[in-house]
Amino acid sequence: MPGYELWSDKERKEVNDVLKTGILMRYGFDGPRKGIWKSKELEAAINETFGCKYAQITSSGTSALTTAMSALGIGYGDEVIIPSFTFVASFEAVLSVGAVPVLVDVDDTLTLNPEAVRKAITPKTKAVMPVHMCGSMADMDSLIAICKEHDLFLLEDACQSIGGTYKGKSLGTIGDAGTFSFDFVKTMTCAEGGVVMTNREDIYIKSDGYTDHGHDHKGVDRGADLHPFIGYNYRISELHAAVGLAQIKRLNEFLSIQKKNHGLLKSILEQVPEISFRRVPDPAGDSCSFISWFLPNEEITRAVVAELKAQGILAGNFYWFDNNWHYIRKWDHLKNAITLNSLSPELKEKVMQQANKDFAASDAVMSRCISTSISLLWTEEQIKEKGEKMVNVIRKVLKD
């Protein structure tokens, strides 16, 4: 999955362009920057590569989500439907705008179960936020239909699925807004960074101001900018944008290696009839950053994880069910609504209520799931060796 694996002279060159002028900030300094605008260039490249009208890059994927929610006007009293399986950033962002994260079960797509989404809708629901986890997508047609029917915003967290598509459209560009993360382990990286993508000009203009203290960016004199609303500082630096600019030009190369490696490893795992694979609503659009596979039950899955560990080959295989960062089961800080600053008592109560619901349907999926991350550095030989070792472990456990 990660673009950092193929760090090269191309990234060094883009960063050096910025280091030569020393103008590390994305706004202003028009003279001394000598025509070097890496952030603007990266935004244009994002529009071009992913087919969206507008892109606002930010300091992180998390700040991109917060920005998108603010631009959509999500805040006090609103509910945002998110999946039980995601990265913690998804609920952090909802909380950061003062809204309630409404957690909903995932199905064998490892993303929002549309029926569970329907059941979770209340008069306070403002948005549905599918998270395209582990390289592949949610069932977008169903979610689009639900959002239309109930007049809800669709906000895609596509942070883990850069380069994935659904029926020909890039993930992250289908809803009212969508986000990518360019943190260090994502498909392409800025070291730290993110983006809000949208086809709506109003959302873009709000995102642009929100990430820079509410500046309207209308003139050439930054000091004279007006501030039509209160914003924050979620700006990216030119150094980070420069890394991303080199990486986006290499994205097709990364994706084609990912797909090749994914295909080869999958063909080896397929030899075991007891293994099934994650359902992918549009298989052609899988970005292939992970292979996610299921074993028949939790007991077998745990035994396979233990045996992979014992043989020293667990690295790169994720058992999310036991993971602190990605699944509701171990989010004790959320279940107890532990924050450093006080939440309103009403919000705190709702957060705890949401996080302590019954997630048996998600457990039934996640307790049997292992995701294997796809490296860009593997040779064919290494994939065969890795795949065969994994298959041997699984066969051994199944026999016992």
CA angle 210, 214, 219 (to 5 degrees): 120
Residues recognised as catalytic: 186
| Nearest CA among 101, 70, 343, 347 for reference residue 209 | 70
Task: Using the rule CB under 6 A, give the single segment among 26-34, 86-94, 98-106, 360-368 that binds ligand PLP.
Answer: 86-94
Give the residue, chosen from 78, 157, 208, 307, that forms a contact with ligand PLP under the rule CB under 6 A: 157
According to DSSP, residue 129 is labeled: -
Q: Give the separation between CA 115 and CA 122, rounded to whole angstroms.
A: 14
Q: Give the separation between CA 305 and CA 49, rounded to whole angstroms.
A: 38
Q: What share of the chain is helix, strand, coil (3-state, %, to 5)?
A: 45, 15, 40
**Contact of 329 with 321, CB cutoff 8 Å:** yes
Q: Name which of 2 and 61 has its Cβ closer to ligand PLP.
A: 61
According to DSSP, residue 250 is labeled: T
Helix (H, G, I), strand (E, B) or coil at 325: coil
Q: Name which of 99 and 383 has its Cβ closer to ligand PLP.
A: 99
Q: Give the separation between CA 234 and CA 196, rounded to whole angstroms.
A: 12
Give the residue, chosen from 39, 60, 125, 289, that forms a contact with ligand PLP under the rule CB under 6 A: 60
Q: Is 234 in the site for ligand PLP (CB under 6 A)?
A: no
Q: Give the separation between CA 128 and CA 146, rounded to whole angstroms.
A: 9
Residue 190 CB, nearest distance to ligand PLP (Å)? 9
Give the residue, chosen from 62, 111, 189, 289, that forms a contact with ligand PLP under the rule CB under 6 A: 62
Residue 59 CB, nearest distance to ligand PLP (Å)? 8
What amino acid occupies position 400? D
Structure tokens at 7: 């760090």
Q: Name which of 183 and 212 has its Cβ closer to ligand PLP.
A: 183
Residue 89 CB, nearest distance to ligand PLP (Å)? 4
Task: Using the rule CB under 6 A, give the single segment among 75-83, 120-128, 155-163, 169-177 that binds ligand PLP.
Answer: 155-163
Give the residue, chosen from 183, 212, 238, 282, that forms a contact with ligand PLP under the rule CB under 6 A: 183
Cβ count within 10 A of residue 352:
14
Residue 39 CB, nearest distance to ligand PLP (Å)? 16
Q: Name which of 83 and 114 has its Cβ closer to ligand PLP.
A: 83
Q: Which residue do the tokens 């993303």 mark?
A: 111
Q: Name which of 242 and 303 has its Cβ closer to ligand PLP.
A: 242
Give the residue, chosen from 39, 67, 111, 160, that forms a contact with ligand PLP under the rule CB under 6 A: 160
Give the distance, in angstroms, between the CA of residue 364 and the centroid of all CA atoms in the same chain: 23
β 125-128/290-294 pair status: unpaired
Q: Name which of 23 and 211 has its Cβ closer to ligand PLP.
A: 211
**How many angstroms separate the first and last alpha carbons of the chain?**
33
Q: Partners of 106 in the beta sheet?
A: 112
**Contact of 180 with 194, CB cutoff 8 Å:** yes
Q: Is 87 in the site for ligand PLP (CB under 6 A)?
A: yes
Give the residue, chosen from 181, 301, 354, 371, that forms a contact with ligand PLP under the rule CB under 6 A: 181
Task: Using the rule CB under 6 A, give the single segment among 11-19, 33-41, 57-65, 77-85 that binds ligand PLP.
Answer: 57-65
**Contact of 186 with 162, CB cutoff 8 Å:** yes
Q: Is 3 in the site for ligand PLP (CB under 6 A)?
A: no
Q: Is 90 in the site for ligand PLP (CB under 6 A)?
A: yes
Count residues contacting ligand PLP (CB under 6 A)? 14
Give the residue, chosen from 194, 209, 244, 285, that forms a contact with ligand PLP under the rule CB under 6 A: 194
Structure tokens at 236: 């990216």
Q: Name which of 57 and 308 has its Cβ closer to ligand PLP.
A: 57
Binding mask 7-46 for ligand PLP (x = CB under 6 A): ----------------------------------------
Q: Is 103 in the site for ligand PLP (CB under 6 A)?
A: no
Angle between helices 9-21 and 238-249 (to 10 degrees): 150
Angle between helices 89-96 and 61-71 (to 10 degrees): 40
Task: Using the rule CB under 6 A, give the single segment among 112-120, 153-161, 198-206, 342-350 that binds ligand PLP.
Answer: 153-161
What amino acid occupies position 257? I
Q: Is 125 in the site for ligand PLP (CB under 6 A)?
A: no
Q: Name which of 157 and 307 has its Cβ closer to ligand PLP.
A: 157
Q: Give the separation between CA 187 and CA 81, rounded to whole angstroms.
A: 25
Where does this chain bind ligand PLP (CB under 6 A)? 60-62, 86-87, 89-90, 131, 157, 159-160, 181, 183, 194
